[in-house]
């Protein structure tokens, strides 16, 4: 292992002892955003990004081309499958994607959250000239800002409760940034509607995992628009005012990890179309894991990365 990033879902495991309805009942190694070097076999020495999901490849969902929906899927750092915050792992070879030398080890690890952002874009599919809202500007939200820009969005409106993340969103292509209230019914939805002359956003990506952000995304979406829920709520519940969503005739989609994205993610990164390097603000050896998790839990900076090889 050469690099592994701490994800928001890792923080759920760390802080709450589980994620959604999955709970920890034994010691579990976390980590699923990772890169490494193949240690043996025909590809010895090749630098790779690691797809953290091992589908069964036999069920109806897998055969239909939706391995992310496989109910027998094993996922790194989840349930009974130990993850990648360690020095060595064994992993299926076909889930190891070679990366070019132009990408750093940390870049290669961040191909996983880039894959989540790509799959989210596939579900939201904003077209050229679209107005896009990104509600929550952690690493995946910031990647969505960049991808929306590449997709030809005419305006990208971003919200977050943390000023340093809003500033990062502005630097990465957001045209309008609004501080988000920590509680429901903040002013940012009205501000977005005012900024779009009452129309709202064509596609709203909720990436905060908080119900106030869900409510804001729905309130800011245009009539007939789309809302993509990317974030994972802490209490395993998502709620919103049904009458508003129904009256608007919104299409709502939920993101379940990703599928078939690594080749596209690698191509975008190696051609410099997305900025991964700027997302990494903290680096730690494995020996300082507790400190790293505290930094990530406080949402300091943007992305915290372990470098197991030093």
Q: In the chain, how many domains are there?
A: 2
CATH of the domain at 204: 3.40.50.720
**247-300 residue pLDDT tens:** 999 999 999 999 999 999 999 999 999 999 999 999 999 999 999 999 999 999
* pLDDT level of residue 37 (50, 70, 90 thresholds): very high
Flag whether 142 is in a domain. yes
CATH of the domain at 84: 3.90.180.10
Lowest mean per-residue pLDDT among 79-83, 213-217, 242-246: 79-83
Beta-strand pair 303-306/280-284: parallel
Q: Are residues 124 and 234 in the same domain?
A: yes
Flag whether 155 is in a domain. yes
Q: What is the mean pLDDT of residues 19-23?
A: 82
Q: Are residues 34 and 156 in the same domain?
A: no
Instruction: Tell me what pLDDT residue 229 has.
Output: 98
Range(s) of the domain holding residue 177: 115-254
> pLDDT at residue 185 above 90?
no
Q: Are residues 47 and 121 in the same domain?
A: no
Look at the alpha carbons of 159, 119, 35, 90 in this order and tell me if their dihedral is positive or negative. Answer: positive
Q: Are residues 18 and 135 in the same domain?
A: no
Q: Are residues 124 and 238 in the same domain?
A: yes
**222-244 residue pLDDT tens:** 999 999 999 998 888 899 999 99
Flag whether 194 is in a domain. yes
Instruction: Tell me what pLDDT residue 301 has.
Output: 93
Flag whether 261 is in a domain. no
Flag whether 271 is in a domain. no
Flag whether 154 is in a domain. yes
Instruction: Tell me what pLDDT residue 310 has.
Output: 58
Give the H/E segment covering residue 169: helix 163-171
Tokens of 43: 């590809």
Instruction: Tell me what pLDDT residue 17 has.
Output: 85
Q: Are residues 231 and 123 in the same domain?
A: yes
Lowest mean per-residue pLDDT among 25-29, 96-100, 175-179: 25-29
Strand-pairing partners, residue 133, are: 157, 204
Flag whether 265 is in a domain. no
**124-177 residue pLDDT tens:** 999 999 999 999 999 999 999 999 999 999 999 999 999 999 999 999 999 999
> pLDDT at residue 15 above 90?
no
Q: Are residues 211 and 285 in the same domain?
A: no
Q: Are residues 129 and 11 in the same domain?
A: no
Q: Are residues 192 and 294 in the same domain?
A: no
CB count within 10 Å of CB 104 equals 18
Q: Are residues 249 and 139 in the same domain?
A: yes
Q: Are residues 103 and 137 in the same domain?
A: no
Flag whether 30 is in a domain. yes
Lowest mean per-residue pLDDT among 15-19, 31-35, 89-93: 15-19
Q: Are residues 200 and 77 in the same domain?
A: no
Contacts of 242-250 spanning 24+ positions with Cβ under 8 A:
244/218, 244/219, 245/218, 248/218, 248/221, 248/222, 248/223, 248/224, 249/223, 249/224, 250/218, 250/221, 250/224, 250/225, 250/226
């Amino acid at each position: 292992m050469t690099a592994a990033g701490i994800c928001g879902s890792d923080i759920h495991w760390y802080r709450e002892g589980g994620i959604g309805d999955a709970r920890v009942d034994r010691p579990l190694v976390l980590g699923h955003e990772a890169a490494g070097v193949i240690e043996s076999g025909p590809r010895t020495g090749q630098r790779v990004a690691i797809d953290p999901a091992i589908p069964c490849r036999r069920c109806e969902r897998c055969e239909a081309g939706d391995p992310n929906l496989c109910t027998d899927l094993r996922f790194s750092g989840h349930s009974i499958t130990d993850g990648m915050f360690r020095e060595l792992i064994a992993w299926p070879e076909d889930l190891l994607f070679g990366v070019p030398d132009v990408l750093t080890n940390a870049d290669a690890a961040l191909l996983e959250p880039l894959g989540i952002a790509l799959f989210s874009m596939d579900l939201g599919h904003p077209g050229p000239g679209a107005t896009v809202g990104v509600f929550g500007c952690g690493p995946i939200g910031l990647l969505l800002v960049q991808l929306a820009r590449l997709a030809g969005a005419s305006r990208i409106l971003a919200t977050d409760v943390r000023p340093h993340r809003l500033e990062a969103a502005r630097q990465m292509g957001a045209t309008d940034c609004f501080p988000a209230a920590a509680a429901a019914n903040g002013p940012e939805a009205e501000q977005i509607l005012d900024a779009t002359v009452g129309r709202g956003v064509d596609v709203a990506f909720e990436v905060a995992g908080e119900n106030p952000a869900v409510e804001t995304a729905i309130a800011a979406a245009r009539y007939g628009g789309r809302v993509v829920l990317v974030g994972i709520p802490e209490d395993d519940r998502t709620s919103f005012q049904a009458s508003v969503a129904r009256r608007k005739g919104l299409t709502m989609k939920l993101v379940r990890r990703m599928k078939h994205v690594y080749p596209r993610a690698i191509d975008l990164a190696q051609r410099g179309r997305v900025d991964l390097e700027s997302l990494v603000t903290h680096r730690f050896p494995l020996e300082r894991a507790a400190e790293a998790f505290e930094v990530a839990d406080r949402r300091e900076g943007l992305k915290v990365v372990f470098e197991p090889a030093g």
